Amino acid sequence: MAEVSPGAGAGAITAGGARKPEAAHEAQDAHAALVLRGRLVALRPAAEADIPALAAIRAHPEVYRWWRGGEDLAAAVAEDLAEQDSHSLVIEYEDRIVGAIQWSAEEEPDYRHASIDVYLDAELHGRGLGSDAVRTLARHLFAEHGHHRITIDPAAGNAAAIRCYAKVGFRPVGVMRRCERGPDGTWHDGLLMDLLAEELVPDAEGPGAEAR
């Protein structure tokens, strides 16, 4: 799989610290070139122009129930995209945005691992898109970033998400008791799940994901 290296397209910097226009364009082109392809979905870096579509997906009651975000969901999505230590990708299916998946990493050598989170258009739940997106990103993190372990922590009551992650190979580690406060003001349990590189379940219906 192809990966854009951190320094790709970095280009020249002016004396004042600003990036030269041609260098900025090179960086943007390199960023846009990274697309991870699964059997059903494609993952690409999220951009500001994607915010309205992602906010609309987050507004659906079945998605908002787990992700929340307050009254201004566009601002919530923009905040997610702006997080310095997180990498946000949009999920595309049949040439339209159907969700987002993000990852971050613990880089302390003795504890190194990646964490991911995902949401999907509620109208498309149950079609295998979520597991395809998670599998595609997991394979990329194992193969291209050298991670050996990935974690995810759905709400303990989100049975559909837990089944989705289990299909990819994630296993329950333990219940995190009262770790998140819900919209009703009460505290709810979360479920920590993890996946080791050798436990990734391949897609039985098609070839592995590729990046290009």
Q: Quote the mean pLDDT of the chain.
A: 84
Q: Is residue 138 scored above 80 in pLDDT?
A: yes
pLDDT, one tens digit per residue, over 61-77 is 999 888 888 889 999 99
Assigned token pair, 164: 């989705």
What predicted TM-score, i.e. pTM, was given to this entire model? 0.80
At 17, the pLDDT band (50, 70, 90 cuts) reads: very low
pLDDT at 203: 82
Share of the chain above pLDDT 70, in %: 80
> What DSSP string runs through 98-146?
EEEEEEEEE--GGG-EEEEEEEE-GGGTTSSHHHHHHHHHHHHHHHHH-
Q: Is residue 135 scored above 70 in pLDDT?
A: yes
pLDDT at 205: 61
Share of the chain above pLDDT 90, in %: 71
Assigned token pair, 83: 């997080």
pLDDT, one tens digit per residue, over 23-68 is 444 444 444 558 999 999 999 999 999 999 999 999 999 998 888 8
Q: Is residue 15 scored above 50 in pLDDT?
A: no
Round to whole Å and give the CA distance between 39 and 203: 8
At 113, the pLDDT band (50, 70, 90 cuts) reads: very high
**Is the distance from CB of 155 to CB of 149 less than 8 angstroms?**
no
Mean pLDDT of 112-125: 95
**Is the distance from CB of 117 to CB of 80 less than 8 angstroms?**
no
Domains and CATH numbers, the chain: 43-211 (3.40.630.30)
Q: Is residue 195 scored above 50 in pLDDT?
A: yes
Round to whole Å and give the CA distance between 35 and 138: 14
Q: Which of 19-28, 107-116, 117-126, 171-180 is least confident?
A: 19-28
pLDDT at 34: 84
